[in-house]
Amino acid sequence: MSVFRDSLTSGDGVNSVPGGFVCMDASEIERVAVLGAGNMGHGITEVVAIAGYDVTMRDVEEEFVDSGYEDIEWSLDKLDEKGRIDESADDVLDRIDITTDLETAVGDVDLVIEAAPERMALKQEIYGELDDFTPDDAILASNTSSLSITEIATAVDDPERVVGTHFFNPPVKMDLVEVIYGERTSDETAEAAHAFVESLDKTPIYVRKDVQGFVVNSVLGPFMVEPAWMVSNSEATIQEADAAMVHQRGYPMGPFELGDLTGIDIGYSVREEAGIENPPLIEEKVEAEELGRKTGKGYYDYEEGEGADYEPGDGEGFDTLRVEAQMVNEAAKLIGQDVATPEAIDTGMRLGAGFPEGPCRRADDIGLDRIIEKLEALHDETGEERFAPADYLVELGESGKTGADAGQGFYSHGDGDERTYHDLNYEIDDRGVLAIELDRPERLNALSQDLLEEIDHLLSTTDPDELRCVTIEGTGERAFSAGADVTGFADTEPADVLRATPTYETVAEFPRPVIAKIEGFCLGGGHELALACDMRIATEGSKFGQPEIGLGLIPGGGATQRLTRLVGAARAKELVFRGHQIDAATAADWGMINRAVPANELDNAMEEVLADIVNGPPVGLEVAKKVMNEGADADLDAALTLERQGFSILMGTDDVAEGTAAFREDRDPEFEGR
């Protein structure tokens, strides 16, 4: 049983919708059918079964379902080996049925996810059959990446129950799912699909109108196409574009490298069908059947050459703003047409395309005035419609909302209560525990400048008197934080690096105990963040290290000093000089972490420590932290003086009076922090 169905059970589980359509409530989804056992279908089936649902996978031929099932078996075994699933692979497989018969697959389901080939006529034929065979209240979801949900839905009597659920490839690894409204999709259907996706432990974003490319592919369009125009016009080379986008702007792959990976013909036909002109370079590649990795040759040569052969320095002089301004323009069109919010777009691009940060966020930092100016200049110069600034972008510019410097752009950048954090989540529970979650799982929670700044801002603006303790952890099970985000390093100004440094001090000096809860990689800057905490509790599978030397660097967030004080010079030097990772048992043995526990005991281990701290005397703990931190840097006499001073300050506090009274009366003390 998934958490979702336990936590969302409500009423009779059926929602009445104006117009007479009665749709499945999200909490009622139990049986799922996936149509298609290909690339996406088998992956979606696997994800759905892992989340605890019974699922039937259907394809048209026995050999296709068998092959999809084998792929699932292989993948589940891998997940099992790595400890990424809570049950055995066999337990998950027990929930999966396979069939070639449509009626058997969908006769009593609550939700169908269709992942058949990308042809409208075929999809409509399938939906026509689904109309006959599925229960009337079943939700019909399509995994299409480029076809219109509205058009697909014309094949069923009741288009209100048809919705898009666009998973990304491979579904097991990719966190994002776009939930797309067709013109007639009901809110109930879309909301149920959204909640269902959340129950799979994936991140859904709403695409509120059925636009070509939905969100991710719309914004990704210019990333792929504009550099191809520039190369076609001899304004740049392939290597220049890829090197600049990767090494200056931090994208995980260059546009041409990505085109080779996804297949040059795929984007080509999507654009052709959508009536978008393809640049000559792309036309030539398709005509020559040089389609990318799959044909051995595309923009790069993978058979006779070495594949992508650009060097970090090659990007010099490439006009990255021309490409990014157009992605921002696409985002602005989507927002202006109420297709998606800036948050949804940024989440989509981070999780769906691996972007280091979303285009709206980045645009606010660049300055929307600069972006509009760039688009207008290109528009004037070339007369090309694709450069015309979107109405919404112009509106923001005209109303002075030009980004972070102006305090408002796509987002509000006000300080204090208004501040929204993008790279971290936090909550304060009723015991006064501030739990901070580093939220960049797609980058293994790597510390970007923005994330460090957000931690600093949160701790600097939260009143410590309202807190008893702070915990820091990473989102997901793979990493606490795998280090500083070194993508785009070449573009980092030394001043930016220095700007980040106070965060570690803010954590180390925060007047309440700070505990790192570590699961997975804890490396580089991430490890330094953990070192700035007062205690570290980790899972046995966690890995620790300072790999900076491999980049020709040294740690810059305090490790050379804090690590030396914690584990002694010899061990600290071994970690810093060799750049190797050590496991949690060694880290515990060296005194780098307080303890290493099995993954399923991490929460309990944290709770045990927290229980003492939240009930402890806040002032006593504050003085203890200060005296111990400062004393470590002083000679023994000075340190002992600090301790004596701390002791006498505490003697006059209400908490000490309460502590001693409780001791005499043989009861638990109730400290108030005075």
State the catalytic residues.
Answer: 528, 548
- d(Cα 534, Cα 624) in Å, to the nearest integer? 11
Told to check if 111 binds ligand NAD by CB under 6 A, we report: no
Within 273-312, the residues that bind ligand NAD by CB under 6 A are: none
- d(Cα 609, Cα 534) in Å, to the nearest integer? 12
* Contacting residue, 2, 41, 481, 621, with ligand NAD by CB under 6 A: 41
Smallest distance, ligand NAD to C-beta of residue 100, A: 9
- d(Cα 44, Cα 652) in Å, to the nearest integer? 63
Told to check if 116 binds ligand NAD by CB under 6 A, we report: yes
* Contacting residue, 11, 18, 20, 117, with ligand NAD by CB under 6 A: 117
Smallest distance, ligand NAD to C-beta of residue 591, A: 47
3-state secondary structure of 166: strand
The one-character DSSP state at 506 is H
Complex with ligand NAD: residue 138 or 619, whichever CB lies closer: 138
Complex with ligand NAD: residue 39 or 594, whichever CB lies closer: 39
Smallest distance, ligand NAD to C-beta of residue 353, A: 12
Smallest distance, ligand NAD to C-beta of residue 264, A: 15
- d(Cα 363, Cα 370) in Å, to the nearest integer? 9
Query: Integer distance in angstroms from the first to the last C-alpha of the chain?
Result: 47
- d(Cα 249, Cα 488) in Å, to the nearest integer? 5
Yes or no: say if 385 and 372 are a contact pair by the CB < 8 Å rule: no
CB-closest chain residue to ligand NAD:
38
* Contacting residue, 36, 348, 545, 617, with ligand NAD by CB under 6 A: 36
Q: Per CB under 6 A, which region of 29-37, 223-231, 312-320, 367-375 contacts ligand NAD? A: 29-37
Q: Is the dihedral of CA 137, 142, 146, 147 positive or negative?
A: negative
Strands 139-142 and 162-167: parallel
The angle, 0 to 180 degrees and rounded to 10, between the axes of the packed helices 636-651 and 618-632 is 170
The one-character DSSP state at 120 is H
Complex with ligand NAD: residue 171 or 659, whichever CB lies closer: 171
Smallest distance, ligand NAD to C-beta of residue 98, A: 11
Told to check if 60 binds ligand NAD by CB under 6 A, we report: yes
3-state secondary structure of 408: strand
Complex with ligand NAD: residue 36 or 292, whichever CB lies closer: 36
The one-character DSSP state at 304 is S
Q: Which residues pair with 35 in a beta bridge?
A: 58, 114
Told to check if 393 binds ligand NAD by CB under 6 A, we report: no
* Contacting residue, 118, 283, 583, 643, with ligand NAD by CB under 6 A: 118
Told to check if 35 binds ligand NAD by CB under 6 A, we report: yes
Smallest distance, ligand NAD to C-beta of residue 93, A: 19
- d(Cα 135, Cα 112) in Å, to the nearest integer? 11
Smallest distance, ligand NAD to C-beta of residue 224, A: 15
* Contacting residue, 75, 144, 408, 581, with ligand NAD by CB under 6 A: 144
Yes or no: say if 451 and 350 are a contact pair by the CB < 8 Å rule: no
Q: For residue 504, what are the CA distances in angstroms to 516, 529, 549?
A: 13, 6, 20
- d(Cα 486, Cα 590) in Å, to the nearest integer? 28
Biggest distance spanned by C-alpha atoms of the chain: 89
3-state secondary structure of 258: helix
- Number of residues engaging ligand NAD in binding (CB under 6 A): 23
* Contacting residue, 2, 23, 27, 58, with ligand NAD by CB under 6 A: 58
- d(Cα 470, Cα 534) in Å, to the nearest integer? 10
Contact string 345-384 vs ligand NAD (x = CB under 6 A): ----------------------------------------
Complex with ligand NAD: residue 197 or 390, whichever CB lies closer: 197
Within 154-213, the residues that bind ligand NAD by CB under 6 A are: 166-169
Complex with ligand NAD: residue 144 or 326, whichever CB lies closer: 144
Structure token digits, residue 558: 């305090």
Smallest distance, ligand NAD to C-beta of residue 38, A: 2
* Contacting residue, 38, 263, 367, 631, with ligand NAD by CB under 6 A: 38
Smallest distance, ligand NAD to C-beta of residue 443, A: 21
Number of residues that this document lists for the chain: 674
3-state secondary structure of 61: coil
Other beta carbons within 10 angstroms of residue 612's beta carbon come to 11
Q: Identify each DSSP E strand in 76-219 by its residue range.
A: 96-99, 111-114, 139-142, 162-167, 176-181, 203-207
Q: Per CB under 6 A, which region of 142-150, 335-343, 353-361, 384-392 contacts ligand NAD? A: 142-150
Host H or E run for residue 469? strand 469-474
Complex with ligand NAD: residue 2 or 143, whichever CB lies closer: 143
Phi, psi of 499 (to 5 degrees): -60, -30
* Contacting residue, 8, 29, 37, 593, with ligand NAD by CB under 6 A: 37
Smallest distance, ligand NAD to C-beta of residue 58, A: 5
Smallest distance, ligand NAD to C-beta of residue 337, A: 23
Told to check if 39 binds ligand NAD by CB under 6 A, we report: yes
Told to check if 467 binds ligand NAD by CB under 6 A, we report: no
* Contacting residue, 15, 45, 134, 145, with ligand NAD by CB under 6 A: 145
Complex with ligand NAD: residue 143 or 471, whichever CB lies closer: 143
Complex with ligand NAD: residue 33 or 435, whichever CB lies closer: 33
Residue type, 362: R
DSSP string covering 264-284: HHHHHHHHHHHTPPPPHHHHH
Residue reference for tokens 């939930």 = 179
Q: Per CB under 6 A, which region of 57-65, 74-82, 198-206, 598-606 contacts ligand NAD? A: 57-65
Q: Per CB under 6 A, which region of 31-39, 83-91, 280-288, 500-508 contacts ligand NAD? A: 31-39
The angle, 0 to 180 degrees and rounded to 10, between the axes of the packed helices 342-353 and 216-232 is 70
Binding site for ligand NAD (CB under 6 A): 35-41, 58-60, 64, 115-118, 126, 143-145, 166-169
